[in-house]
Every structure is written in structure tokens, then in C-alpha cells.
Structure 1
Amino acid sequence: MKVLFATSEAVPLAKTGGLADVAGALPKALLEKGIDAQVILPNYETIPWEYLKHFKTVDVFSVNLGWRSQYCGLLRGEIDGVTYYLIDNEHYFRRGGLYGYGDDPERFVFFSIAVLEAARRMEEQWDILHCHDWQTGLIPFLLKRRYWNDERLSGIRTVFTIHNLRYQGVFGMQEMMDLIGMGPEIFGWDGLEHNDAANCMKGGLLYADKLTTVSPTYAEEIKTSFYGEGLDGILRVRSGDLSGIVNGIDTELFDPMNDAAIKAPYLDSLDKKRLNKLALQKEMGLPQNPDVPVIGIVSRLVEQKGFDLIDGVFGELLEEEVQFAVLGSGDWKYEEMFRTASHSRYDKVSIRTGFNDALARRIYAGSDMYLMPSQFEPCGLSQLLALRYRTVPIVRETGGLKDTVQSYNEYTGEGNGFSFKNYNAHDMLYTIREAIGFYNKEDVWKGIVLNGTRDDYSWSRSASSYIGLYEQLAPERKEKETWPVIS
């Protein structure tokens, strides 16, 4: 089976968030299971030369964007066994970042059309186009409304994965008509119109053959008005085609036994893990004390991640025998909250702003607990990384956090972390205090850490679920003839 991932970012080429991790790791896991998974994304200026040097131009063609005919180059290369294609156009993608430009609508309409034009020109005959988030939401729509009679594309089925429903790609209706060269017929209840604007996410939700999101709980949550971001009605209608598949992590890339960024390799030895804790305390300027629990945070410092809850009870938290090691950036008020505390309570709080991958790994390895009190969390990777590094997560029960963290039950001994249900600061405070109490019972704490090692959070399990979905779309595939390349 041949699957082409269409995505706006993928590691190791380009990354701003978790989407890139999925688009980079899942194809590798699918390849290991016999699926020919390849990836197509824009040729951004930010792609490092160490990767770009592996690419060669394999095709050049024009993309019709409204009344204009735009240049498009197609580059092909292989990295870590995965074949990647890059859509090249300097006007749209030769910039310092991936998103946040005034012409983002035009950039990703161009990308969506270019993906389909490239697919119809390749030697490969694709079974599945797997699209990710709003930047590729137009692809299923265009495939059925614009390319429906193209013999090279007519047999392709589509999967659309929602990584975060909040970001939908909302643009002016006239602008959308001008860009894709279609008239008012593209709007209406069965088109792109939503709240008097053109909505790319809606295109993917309506026209993809199957819909997925990145955890079973988030798949249920987004069918409600509270989490549905205005699209919950469509998701309820399509609930039979919607499934939630928890993301995995690259267990080779994140391996406490083979991580050059951390002080001491370890697996299930808490004594060796404490060596990393002492090293982290020293690096962060915190008093080195193996008996004081360290709570790690690696995150965007924004309200969605629950930092308003921390703000509400931070004074009370700092009365506990605990230290905070924080890495992240975001809203000024939350950065300032941690900065101020790091000056007045330098024995308990230390923050580094920005992002540093090596330091992030040392926080995962050196912390005893990891705090994620999110408002909503489609999947979350940080709690999985914490579990991988034998660090106990404390989370709110939402989305993928609910699916992957089971609250410790002192009567049965089950559970790999601690969780609270209501989005309430004092519920969070109570849960953190509960975790600190069990931390001080060494045998109990060892049992909780051991529980966290028993689940498989590698991409292998997730890949099997995606393969099952692909097979539903192509249950009786037949040997296909080799199509000539369009010149």
C-alpha cells in the first residue's frame, strides 16, 4: 500500500510543534510494517543544508492559482530511510519562518493544489493521501470537487487528521474563490463556508473519507460545543468516520539509556535517575537535595496549557517542600510569574525561557514529577516523554492526557501518575500535594514509576491502528499497472 503524507511540517526538516513529530515519526513506523509511506511538504528556507543536500529536483511544472500560473519545483530525497518530497516556490516558502504571514491563505492554497498536481505526475500511484491540519484541509475538498474526473487521482482515498481543532485556516470567501478558480458553488452547507468565511478545516472534515484525531478522548470531546470550536455539528454528523488514535514517541530518539544530553544513563534505577536530578538542580541553580521533589515543566507558557491555574495557587504551591524546573516561553505574564518567583524564592523556582532540546531532555530525566494542567490537550507528547524518562506526570483529565495517564489508586496499586478532572486551581493544588505525599513513601513511589514502564507508547502501536484504517479504505486492492509520468 502506498501512502503519501501531506503536511506543512515534519521532523527533521521543519518543526514548530507536535504535528512535525507525528509527520516525521509515523511514516518510519509504517515503513517498518510494510507500508510504503512517503511525505510531501513545502521547501522552506529554514530546512537545514545537512538535510537539503540529499534532495534533487525531479520535476518542474506550473500551478494555476486563480488567474496566475505559478512555478513549482518538486524535489525528492531520502532521510533515515523515509522518502520526502519538497514543493518548491521561493515566493511562498523562502522566508524565515513557517507561518504567520499575511499571505498564508495563498501560500497553503498553492501548496494544496501543488500536492495534487505533483501526485498526478509521479510514477507512484497512491492509495491514500493522508492530510494533516488546516494547511492541507483543502486537499480532500479539491480532490472531489475539482479533480474528481482526473484518472490519475480518482482512485485515491483520503484521511484527514486533526491535530488541533482551534486552528482552522479561516479566510475571506472572495479571496478563496480567486485563489482556487471556482465560484460561489464551493460554499454552502456542503462547502467551505463557515460563519461567513472560507474555512479550510471544514473542507477536510466534510470531504475526507476518514477522519482521525490524536486521542480517543479528544475525538469525543470535539463533538461537543465546549471543545468543538464551532465545528462540532459536522463532527457529530461524521462521527462514524471519526476515530481517535493516540500519538506515539520515538523510543530510540528518547531513550534514557542512550541520551547524550543527560548526566547519567539509566532505565529503572531511581538511584541513577537521582544523579540526573542532582545535575539538573545544579544546572538550574536550585539547591542540590535528592530528597526534595522536583516538578518539571517544558511547555509553551500560555493559558491553554493551564498556567492560569498555576498562577492562582502559586503562592500556596511554594509553601510545599518542592522545586520547579521550568523551560518555555509564551505569554509575558506567565514568564514574569516564574521569573519573579525565581528571584524571591530562588531555592524553589528556576526558569529558562525559549527552547533548548538538550535542556528539555535533562528536565524530563532529572525531574521527579511533570506538570501538565491543560485546559485541553488533543494528545500531548510531554507526558509520554515524562513516562519514558521515569518521571511521574500530574495532569488534568482531558484529551490525550486522560487516555495515557491513569491516576494512582493507593488501594489497588494501579496507576502511572496523578490527575484531576475539573479545571480548578485548588483541585490541581490538592493533586500536587497528594503526589508529594506519595513521593515521600519510597516503596510506593517506586511502584508508581514501575507502573509507568508497562504501557507501549512507541509509534508501533499507533501505526498498527492507522494501517487498520487505511485497509478499511482499500480492502480489495489489486495489482496496479505502472502509469506513465506526465511530462
Structure 2
Amino acid sequence: MRVLQVSAELFPLLKTGGLADVAGALPAALAAAGAEPRLLVPGFPAIRESLVHECAVAPVALPWSEGRAVLLRGRLPGFEAPVYVLDAPGLFDRPGNPYADEAGVTYADNHRRFALLGLAAARLAEGVDPAWRPQIVHAHDWHAGLACAHIAAGRARGRTDARMVFTVHNLAYQGLFPADCFADLGLPPAHYAVEGLEFYGQVSFMKAGLHFADAITTVSPGYAREIQTPEQGCGLDGLLRHRAAVLHGVLNGVDYRLWSPARDRSLAQPYDADRPEGKADCKAALQGECGLAVKVDAPLFGIVSRLTEQKGLPLVLEALNDLLAAGGQLVVLGSGDARLEAEFSAAAARHPGQVARRTGMDEGLAHHIYAGSDVMLVPSRFEPCGLTQLYGLSYGALPLVHRVGGLADTVVDCTLEDLDAGAATGFVFDAFTADAYRRALRRVFALWSRPASWANVRNAAMRQRFGWDAAARRYVEIYAGLATAPAQ
């Protein structure tokens, strides 16, 4: 089964969030499950600089007049399969991250940049590379949503019979653009309609994927249910309910080659569930690295996150005095909303030795935080899957989470019955309120005061396994079902 994965990000070369981790880990898992995967990614500088053994496959005609684009095939470090790179310097050779400039201002031509990515996927589905033609195109999130629209147009013209899978990583980010941008997308005029890309007078790349894909997946079973409700459907719940028969929740996995404290060479001391003593060394190293008081008896809480309201961080700030008064410490890594950045920075200034704040995406420090923390805070308002809590489980940093989406699917609360059964792996609160979050905090400190019970929960957490093998097998089942089904 030849499968083309289409993504705007790719770990370890280009990452702003969990999408990159998925795109980086899934191809190898699919290959192990019997598929033949390849990747298509935009030619951002970090990717172009790493591409070796490259050759030109075919030019990609732009729907507008200026510029050039060509599909390249080559190799990227760490990937066994060939990779396709869409080389369009005028669109992708820019500073900043994939979506915004260095000041955080979104690029005004993002509709062109990611429409072209979808168009390139369609050209591959139509066979522009005579050496390899995908049977399945698997597009990830709104940036790749137009791949589904372009392939649907190609199927209508008899140019391809490829099937399409579209994965929603976060429905809140939809790729919305003014209606007059539709002229730049290279699609048939009929595609701008309610049964197409039109969304309340705008163009929606997310809706393109949801409407035209043969199968829709999202990154946890819980989130697949939630996005069919008005509360979390972001205006698309009606379409998702209409397409519920082809909507699947497939839980993301963890690449334990990268996220295992026993194999992580960046740590002060390796450790695992059978030999957890090294975690104390990692905690002391993290406290020293971040300027916190080196105290073994202070529970250390970690946050590795985009600093946004969605991640529930206002709850953390509202109850920060409770955490500190009980003797806890907090380290925060991330950037995002200016107000949240300022408030965490102010907290660090007010409480030196107890609160540390670091900015940006520092992959090495992120690993140190997972290894050195006793608790990972993930109190998200909504969370499609969440990788933070999965990494926390692997490193024995017990997740404190809101019971929503993938968080609810992966963390077992420290209730008396689950403690007794040895099933508890973290702390879960139900209502998205400061009071409910504070009660979960109190449960953390209650368990911390019982070292033997804490050690048992940590042991259970570290023995959890959410590998990519199960997800890959499920994806292969979905692909196989599409390959034998008639096109919609």
C-alpha cells in the first residue's frame, strides 16, 4: 500500500508543536505495519538544507503568474523512505516559523503557500513521478487540507483514483481566508460552495479536508466524539456528524526511541521503572539549570506548552499561590500569548527559587523538564490528543489533566479504587474551573505526602505504553478499507 503523508512540519527539522512529532514518527511505524510510506513537505530552509541525493521530479504550475515551484525527491536524515520536497523559494524561504515571521505576524499569502502544497500532493497522486505513485494520500491538518480538494478535482477529471485520508490535529485552527483568496487556489469554481470550501463567507482549508476526504481521522477517540458537538465542533460539528460514518479516532503514539528516560542521553542520569533512582538526579539537575532551589522534598511541576488559553494556563496562574504555599516549585517552557508570557515572567520574578520561566521551543530543556519534574501540568480547556501527558507518563512525571479529549483517554485519576487496583497514573479533574483544578492540586500534595503510594503511581505511569505500532496498524486498516471501496 503506497501512502503519501503530507505535513507542514517534520521533527526533528521543523517543529512548532505535536504535528511535527507525528509526521516524524508515523512513517517508520507505517512501514513496520506493512505500508510503503513517503513524505511530502514544504521546502522550508531547515528541510532544504538537510535534503541530500536530491533530484527534480517535475515542475508544479502555479495558479498565479509569478514565481516557480518544483517537486524534488531526496533523502532526509533519520528517514528510511524517500521524501518529496516542494521547492518554492518565493513562498517558503523565509525567516520565522512555517506560518509567521520572526515577529509572530502571520504571512499574508499563507493561502497560496499551503494551497500549493495540496496541489503538489495531487500531482503526485496523478503520477508525475513515474517511479512511485501513491494509492493513498494522507493529509495532516488544515495546511494540507487542499490536497483533498485538488485530488477530488483530479478524480472528477479521470486523472487519479487515489483515496484520501484527512487527519484533524486541532479543529480550532482551520486555515480561514477571505473569499477573494479562492481565485489563487487553482480549484474549479464549483468548489467554493457550502458543499465545498465555503465557510460563512470565507475559504476554509480545514473544511476542504473534512468535506472531500474519503476518511477522516482525529488523534484520539475522545476528541472524535467531542468535535461532533456544538461545544467543541468550532462551527463544523454539523459536517462532522454528517460524516460520522467515516470519522475515526486513532490515538497518537510516542516514539520511545526519543522519549524514554532509559535511552535519553541528554539526561543527568538515565532511569526506568525498575531503576527509578536516577530521576532524583535529573530533578536536582533541572533545579540547578533553571535557578530553582535544589530541594528533594519540593514537588516540582513542569509545563512544556504553547502559552495559550486553550492549554488551561489561566487556571495555573489563578491557583499558583496555592501551589507555592504548599511547597511546590514550577518551571515553564513555552511562548505564545503575550499576556500569559508576561504573567509567568512576573511570577518568576516574584518567586525566585520557586518559579522558573524559559521561552521558545528548546527540545533539550523540554527533555530535562520531563525527566526532572514530578508532575506535568496539562489542564487544557480542550485537547485533541496531547503528547505532553504521554511524555510525562514515560518519564514518571505524573500528568495533572482536565478530563477532555486524549487526556481523558490516557490518564487514570488517583481515586481510591484505582490506587488500590494499581491503575492510577495521574490526576484528573472534570469541570474546567479554578476550584476543580485546585482540588486536583490538593490530591497531588496528598499523594506526595505518602512516598510509597507516590512511587507506586509513578511506577504504573512509567509502565504505560502508547507506541506508534497500534496507531499504524489502525491506519493501515483504514487505508485497506478505502483501497477496496468505490470512490465517493
- Shorter chain as denominator, the TM-score bin is over 0.9
Greater displacement, 131-140 / 170-179? 170-179
CA distance, structure 2, for counterparts of residue 145 and residue 476 of structure 1: 19
2:480 counterpart of 1:471 = yes
Could you report, residue by residue, the CA deviation over 1:454-477 in whole angstroms, capped at 9, with x for unpaired residues? 332111111111111112112489
The structure-2 alpha-carbon separation of the partners of 1:150 and 1:58, relative to structure 1 and needing over 3 Å to count, comes to: farther
SS at match of 1:41: strand
Residue matched to 2:150: 142
CA distance, structure 1, for counterparts of residue 276 and residue 329 of structure 2: 18
CA distance, structure 2, for counterparts of residue 377 and residue 55 of structure 1: 39
Residue matched to 1:9: 9
Alignment of 1:32-47 (within 5 A): 32-47=32-47
CA distance, structure 1, for counterparts of residue 343 and residue 59 of structure 2: 52
Residue matched to 2:139: 131
2:256 counterpart of 1:251 = yes
Contact 1:63 1:110 in 2 (8 A): no
Q: Aligned Cα RMSD in Å?
A: 1.9
Q: CA deviation at 1:394?
A: 0.5
Q: CA deviation at 1:70?
A: 4.2
Residue matched to 1:375: 381
Residue matched to 1:215: 220
The structure-2 alpha-carbon separation of the partners of 1:366 and 1:442, relative to structure 1 and needing over 3 Å to count, comes to: same
CA distance, structure 1, for counterparts of residue 62 and residue 418 of structure 2: 63
- 1:200 paired residue among 198, 201, 205: 205
Contact 2:73 2:82 in 1 (8 A): no
Contact 1:63 1:117 in 2 (8 A): no
Alignment of 1:76-225 (within 5 A): 76-80=74-78, 81-96=80-95, 97-99=97-99, 100-119=106-125, 120-122=127-129, 123-151=131-159, 153-154=160-161, 156-180=162-186, 182-183=188-189, 185-225=190-230
Contact 2:377 2:401 in 1 (8 A): yes
Contact 2:118 2:148 in 1 (8 A): no
2:342 counterpart of 1:333 = no
- 1:455 paired residue among 461, 464, 469: 464
Could you report, residue by residue, the CA deviation over 1:90-119 in whole angstroms, capped at 9, with x for unpaired residues? 111111231121111111112211221233
CA distance, structure 2, for counterparts of residue 69 and residue 441 of structure 1: 65
SS at match of 1:130: strand
SS at match of 1:393: strand
- 2:268 paired residue among 251, 263, 269: 263
Q: Where does structure 2 lack aligned partners over 5 or more consecutive residues?
A: 100-105
The structure-2 alpha-carbon separation of the partners of 1:55 and 1:94, relative to structure 1 and needing over 3 Å to count, comes to: farther
Alignment TM-score, normalising by the size of structure 2: 0.92
Residue matched to 1:439: 448
Could you report, residue by residue, the CA deviation over 1:163-205 in whole angstroms, capped at 9, with x for unpaired residues? 111111122323213431532x223221211101121111111
Q: Which amino acid in the other structure matches residue 142 of structure 1?
A: H
Moved over 4 A (4+): 66-70
Contact 2:253 2:471 in 1 (8 A): yes
Greater displacement, 3-12 / 74-83? 74-83
Residue correspondences, number? 472
Q: CA deviation at 1:6?
A: 1.2
The structure-2 alpha-carbon separation of the partners of 1:64 and 1:264, relative to structure 1 and needing over 3 Å to count, comes to: closer
Q: CA deviation at 1:254?
A: 1.5
Greater displacement, 268-277 / 368-377? 268-277
Q: Percent identity?
A: 37
Q: Which amino acid in the other structure matches residue 130 of structure 1?
A: H
- 1:419 paired residue among 413, 416, 428: 428
Contact 2:117 2:147 in 1 (8 A): no
CA distance, structure 2, for counterparts of residue 449 and residue 306 of structure 1: 24
Residue matched to 2:399: 393
Could you report, residue by residue, the CA deviation over 1:385-444 in whole angstroms, capped at 9, with x for unpaired residues? 111111111001111111111112223422110010111012111101111111121111
